[in-house]
Amino acid sequence: MDTPLAAEIRELIAADGPVPVSRYMALCLGHPRHGYYMTRDPFGTGGDFTTAPEISQVFGELLGIWAASVWDSCGRPSPVRLVELGPGRGTLMADLLRAAGALPAFHAALDIHLVETSPVLAARQRETLKGAPASWHADIGTVPPGPTILIANELLDALPVRQFAMTPKGWRERVIGLADGRLAFGLAPDPVPPEIIPEHLRQAGPGAVYECCPAFEALCAALSRRASDAPLAALFIDYGHAGSAHGETLQAVKGHGFVDPLAEPGEADLTAHVDFEALGRAARAAGLAASPISTQREFLFGLGLASRAEALARANPAAFETVRSGVERLVDPSPTGMGALFKTIVLHESGTAIPVIPERITP
C-alpha cells in the first residue's frame, strides 16, 4: 500500500540518492506529519503491539519497588527526579506511583517527568495520570538537574540503527533506494571505515550483517551530564542480545504481526533488537558505569514477582487467571519469550554500586 510518507521518501531518494537504514527508520517513526508514533496510539489489543505494562500491573509495581530501593541507596534525596523515557500510555508510571504510595517518604520526594515526542501519546499519558503532578518534555535535556531515577521500557528498540553487510569487497552500508519506482534495499558503494565494526566481528563471511545504534552515544552523553553533579540510576528494559554479534534484526509490526519493513512507511512500527553490550560500551565511554546485564525473568523474580502476584490473586480471586497468565507471559523463559528475550541494564554514575536488582526496603 502506498502511503503519504512513501511518496515523500521516494522523492527524497530521487533527489539525493539512497538513504541509510537509520534515516529511513527515523522518518518512518518520527516524521512530524506522517511518522508512526506521531499519529496514533499503537498499544494494546486494538493497536499493533502490547508491552509489559499493558500485560500486567505487576510490572510497573515492581519497578516502583526498584525505584524506591535505588532512592534509599542514594541517601533518600528530596526531591528526586523520576523520569520515564517513552512512557507509552502512562500505564507503567501509574502502576509505579501506586506502588510508591506504600512508602510515603519516597512518594513525597518524587518530582515526575515524562519525556515524549508524540503529541497523541502525551495526551493519552495526561489522561492516564490525571491528578499526578507531572511535567512533560520533548527531550531529556529540559528535565531539571538533580538526583535522577530514570526508567525506559521498550524505548531502545525504536532508536534508528545502521546496517552493514559483508561483501566480497568488504563491509558496505546497507541503504534504501528505488527499484522500478519502489523502495528496495541496496548497498552503498564506499567501503565502511573499519572502526565502525567491533574488532571481533570484522572478519565474517559474505552476507553477514552487523547493526549498530548511533543514538546510544548521544543518550549516554546526556545521562553522563546529569550524573556529573548528582546521583543517577537509569534502568533500561528491552528485547535484544547481551553480546554484540552478527545478525539482521530490523522488523516491522502491524496488527500484532510482522510485515515488510518497506511496504507501508509510517503505518507500521519499525524496531531492531537492542545490543546491550554496545550500550554498555557507549555508557563507559561517556564516563558512566554499567551494571551486569540480566534477563527480565531474573529481574522481576529478584524484585519479588511471585509474592506480589500471589498477593494480587488473594485480594481478588476472580482475577486469578488474568494475573497468572500475565505473569507467565512476562517471565516466559523460552528463547523468544519475554522472560529470556528481554534484558535489563542499569547505567549510573561511576564510583557507586547500584545493582540491577537492589535490596528491597521497608517504609
Determine the residue type at 275: D
Beta carbons of 335 and 228 less than 8 angstroms apart? no
Task: For residue 237, give the nearest of 132, 124, 113, 88 by alpha carbon.
Answer: 88
Say how far apart CA 279 and CA 216 lie, in whole Å: 6
Structural domains for the chain? 37-160+212-348 (3.40.50.12710)
Beta carbons of 96 and 67 less than 8 angstroms apart? yes
From residue 140, how far is each of 79, 183, 196, 274 by CA, in Å? 17, 34, 27, 20
C-alpha neighbours within 13 Å on the C-beta side of residue 80? 27
3-state class of 333 per DSSP? coil
* Buried-state track 237-254, b at ≥16 Cβ within 10 A, e below 16: bbbbbbebbeebbbebbb
Say how far apart CA 116 and CA 243 lie, in whole Å: 29
Tens-of-pLDDT digits for all 363 residues of the chain? Answer: 689 999 999 999 999 999 999 999 999 999 999 999 998 888 877 788 899 999 999 999 999 999 999 999 999 999 999 999 999 999 999 999 999 999 999 999 999 999 999 999 999 999 999 989 999 999 999 999 999 999 999 999 999 999 999 999 999 999 999 999 999 999 999 999 999 999 999 999 999 999 999 999 999 999 999 999 999 999 999 999 999 999 999 999 999 999 999 999 999 999 999 999 999 999 999 999 999 999 999 999 999 998 888 888 788 888 788 889 999 999 999 999 999 999 999 999 987 777 677 655 554
C-alpha neighbours within 13 Å on the C-beta side of residue 249? 22
Task: Give the distance from CA 41 to its chain's centroid.
Answer: 17
